[in-house]
Amino acid sequence: MDRFRKPRMRMVETQIKARGISDVRVLKAMQTIPRHLFVDEGLIEQAYTDSPLPIGEHQTISQPYIVALMTQALDLKGRERVLEIGTGSGYQTAVLACLADRVFSVERIALLATQARRTLDALNIYNVAIRVGDGSYGWKEEAPFDAIITTAAVSAIPRYLLDQLVPGGRMIVPSGGRDVQTLYKLTRSKENPEEIIQEDLGGCRFVSLIGESGWRK
């Protein structure tokens, strides 16, 4: 029996649905994916609280609401190829894998990539490819992508990533300073692929992207 089922359902109702997340597929994915398997054992009782949690290597698993907000903004229908920058614990990856055809995820820290792969495999989530590298450059060999999500803050919108979006594709990215950022939805115009339509989704706080489009350390 899953003793975390009730806390997970309560998380979705009180932290996510109550704040305006209405995409039925997103809500179902977050009711299904066991967040407690993606946190350190010592924090397992806090897995469904309304906050980010440390996962080691100076990284965090995002607040559940932020995961839902970013995922809903991608407007996934089930046939998409999605690029994720920053695998982290693999929780956001797992949610995406429920909603898209294929997920390609880039993680800078090899230990986190290995742990995420192990957890995803344990959950029989096999439509995810993970590689270690600088997420600033995306995954050119697998481009283009229908959607891109960046789970670490950038100092400027990475051109490499925008170039890997299909016309009509969406990218969700936190951009700004190291302490506080703005979450943006960028849509590449179908009619004019050189045009990028920008939407402000509100303030946020993410760990920094280390790499070409982020910070050196």
What positions carry a catalytic annotation?
Answer: 62
Helices (H), 84-129: 91-99, 110-122
* Cβ neighbours for 16, distance < 8 A, ≥ 6 positions apart: 27, 30, 64, 65, 68
Please state the three-class secondary structure of 20-64 as a single string.
CCCCHHHHHHHHHCCHHHHCCHHHHHHCCCCCCEEEECCEEECCH
Question: What tokens were used for 169?
Answer: 């594709």
HSE (side-chain half, CA atoms, 13 Å) at 104: 20
